[in-house]
A and B are shown apart, each in its own frame.
Chain A
Amino acid sequence: MNQAVSMHVASQSARSRSETAAFLLMVAFLVVAPSVIYPLFLMKVLCFALFACAFNLLLGYVGLLSFGHALYFGWASYVSAHAAKVWGLTPELAILAGAATATVLGVIAGSLAIRRQGIYFAMITLALAQMMYFFAIQAPFTHGEDGIQAVPRGRLFGLISLADPMAMYAVVVVIFLACFMLIYRIIYSPFGEVLKAIRENEPRAISLGYKTDRYKLVAFVLSATLAGVAGGTKAIVFQLASLTDVYWAMSGEVVLMTLVGGLGTVFGPAVGAFVIIAMQNYLAAFGQWVMVIQGSIFVACVMLFRRGIVGEIANLLRIKL
């Protein structure tokens, strides 16, 4: 018994050591990167990295595949853009407004979707997202095909102008790291342990007395809210909210990022987002072939390396990442 406890503690400290090292490496990268890489590209990566991390919280740790996460990302970006442009809110309030929208949508969609399990869950989330896509086409405030353009970046807390790319970059980094640490905290909290128990064996978790539906719903809403933060931030950074963000292809992209980086790993989604966004940037000239390449990556990931990049590295080095 004692031995088991001490082994558990040892493995936990090993875990936190490798993960702390990786975290510090990531922070160092984010500090140095803008002097080497175009900041706008980095900000795009960070927005999608946060989106993918939020998605991974649900798929990687609860085992729920939501195929409609564009719903929260896209609608949050619409509301944030509208709040900043029409209501004249400061950027941080605009992003919060977007996140709050995503929370509400997450509660509604989540409580519907968790009524069914497995493959139906994916189909329901996809269908609900498609429904809200049609609403986005018809609602007047989204401006249909044009989207909400020329969204002002504004002044943070009404003081600091975000027109300067480096100021904007700093804000995005802070938002990303804060949400990243929040997700990390959730994963290793007692609440997170219950989520993993549900992923491994839901009937057993129920038999132990956990109201799994409530846990699933809370995880779903957290994931939606964080996806909303990502969407709102993206709207402020790129000064644009458009139909692309709510379309099902966006839901597919976030699945791809998470899968490439590594399902159920802490750092995988961020790495996956970097890889996929970089690929899209460099291959933009190839037009529709990007779609074919993304499809091929999907097939390759599912058939050949289901652990993803970070998962394979972690497995190779026998550490947790």
Chain B
Amino acid sequence: MFEIFGIPSQALFGQLLIGLINGSFYALLSLGLAVIFGMLNIINFTHGAQYMLGAFIAFFLLHYAGLNYWAALVIAPIVVGLTGILVERVLLQWLYKLDHLYGLLLTFGLALIIEGVFRNFFGSSGLPYRVPDSLQGGQNLGFMFLPNYRAWVIVLSLIVCFATWYLIERTRLGAYLRAATENPTLVRAFGINVPRMITLTYGFGVGLAALAGVMAAPIYNVSPQMGADLIIVVFAVVVIGGMGSIMGAIVTGFGLGIIEGLTKVFFPEASNTVIFVIMAIVLLIRPAGLFGRRT
């Protein structure tokens, strides 16, 4: 035990860890939002509900199908991704030609429907989800105790974030994707099926949200409203980072998580609001966001 700025190291590093965990989820979710926004020009309000769906699917798989966490990690994103593809084909694709706001309103309505159904069956209280056996316990690092599961969440989300970055910025598929974001008509003229790419992008983005949901299930309880408040914070993260850059979304997500964790140590009353305050400051000095291009 030692002290930093009069704060016991245990408390400081403990909150830093929580900050990193929150940051992992901010990064994963804002990444999905940014990818979807890039292709569909729609801000996906259902993202929080799809994150919650991921957690619930993990819960169902464990309790009704006997499939463990590792299976859920694969199955939940696929299931949610497929429902996302269905949503895109049936509803969203008719809105691209209209004002942005209709996409927002539609996805907000969908979020209300999903959250309402789950609240109806599961109430507002959380359901516990066990940490998988292989990730029980933790490491004593000398200055703090690091639970294995939390370390896993941080590592996995870093891997997923950078894999996504690599996919979009460094592969041929990603190049098509970026080209279609810039000028869909021209890319279609080259014989690339842009509408299908848009559909798959939406499926991929919401799949990321579901993956985050499965990862969150053992840390926070599984509850119907777990996504609703989180998504608003993620919106603020997106405003701060700007949606133009994948790396920007990742860095902003983790950075804000850490800042939020530190605020909990030094000024706990402001921990709920610090991200919004940062957003206001960023808007004052850099209206386009930290990594954004002026639109």
B232 x A127 contact (CB < 8 A)? yes
Q: Is there a chain A Cβ closer than 8 Å to B110's Cβ?
A: yes
Asked if B100 and A292 make an inter-chain contact with CB atoms under 8 angstroms apart, the answer reads no
B98 — nearest CB in chain A belongs to which residue? A306
User: 8 Å CB contacts to B: which residues of A196-238?
Assistant: none
B116 lies within 8 A of A292 (CB): yes
Chain A: interface secondary structure? Answer: helix
- Do A299 and B239 touch across chains, with their CB atoms under 8 A apart? no
Q: How far is the CB of B249 from chain A (nearest CB, A)?
A: 14
A149 in contact (CB, < 8 A): no
B209: interface (CB < 8 Å): no
Question: Within 8 Å CB of A175, what residues of B?
Answer: none
Q: Which of A130, A252, A295, A306 contacts B110 (CB 8 A)?
A: A295
Interface string of B104-148 (1 = CB under 8 A from A): 111011111111110110000000000000000000000000000
Q: Which residues of B contact A306 (CB under 8 A)?
A: 98, 102
A67 to B45, CA, bound (A): 12
Give the contacting residue for A126; candidates B105, B106, B114, B232; CB below 8 A: B232
Instruction: Tell me whether B276 is interfacial, beta carbon within 8 Å.
Output: yes
Q: CB-CB < 8 A to B273: which residues of A? A: 131, 134-135
The one of A67, A112, A115, A294 that contacts B112, using a Cβ cutoff of 8 Å: A294
In whole angstroms, how far apart are the Cα atoms of A248 and B111 in the complex?
Answer: 13
Q: Which of B185-224 contact A (CB under 8 A)?
A: none
Q: How far is the CA of A298 from the CA of B113 in the complex (A)?
A: 10
**A115 contacts which of B43, B91, B110, B283 (Cβ < 8 Å)?**
B283
* B265 on interface, CB distance cutoff 8 Å: no
Q: Interface on chain B toward A: helix, strand, loop, or mixed SS?
A: helix
Given known pairs A115-B283, A292-B116, A299-B91, the reply for A127 and B236 (CB within 8 Å) is yes
A86 at interface (Cβ–Cβ under 8 A)?
no
Cross-interface CB contact of B105 among A135, A288, A298, cutoff 8 Å: A298
Closest chain B residue to A120, Cβ basis: B239
| CB <8 Å contact, B279 and A124 | yes
Contact A299 B119 (CB under 8 A): no
Asked whether A96 is an interface residue with its Cβ less than 8 Å from the other chain, the reply is: no
Residue A255 at the B interface, CB < 8 A? yes
B287 touches A115 (CB 8 A): yes
Q: How far is the CB of A257 from chain B (nearest CB, A)?
A: 13
Q: Mark B238-256, 1 if CB is under 8 A from A, else 0.
A: 1100000000000000000
Q: Which residues of B contact A113 (CB under 8 A)?
A: 283
* Contact of A303 with B105 in the complex, beta carbons under 8 Å: no
A252, A295, A297 — which one has the most chain B CB atoms within 10 A of its CB?
A295
Given A112-B283, A116-B287, A291-B112: A303 and B239 interface contact (C-beta under 8 Å): no
- Whether A291 contacts B115 in the complex (CB less than 8 A), given A127-B236, A298-B106, A303-B106, comes out as yes
A295 near B104 (CB under 8 angstroms)? no
Q: Is the Cβ of B109 less than 8 Å from the Cβ of A297?
A: yes
**Min CB gap B86→A, angstroms:** 14
Interface centre among B104, B117, B287, by most A CB within 10 Å?
Answer: B104
Which of chain A's residues 116-146 have a Cβ closer than 8 Å to chain B? 116-120, 122-124, 126-128, 130-131, 134-135, 137-138
Q: Can you list 21 pairs linking A and B with CB atoms under 8 Å apart?
A: A112-B283, A116-B239, A118-B100, A122-B43, A122-B104, A123-B239, A126-B235, A127-B232, A127-B236, A128-B276, A130-B229, A130-B233, A131-B277, A252-B108, A255-B105, A259-B105, A287-B120, A292-B116, A297-B109, A299-B113, A302-B105
Q: Residues on B close to A: CB < 8 A?
A: 37, 43, 91, 94-95, 98-102, 104-106, 108-117, 119-120, 228-229, 232-233, 235-236, 238-239, 269, 272-273, 276-277, 279-280, 283-284, 287-288, 295
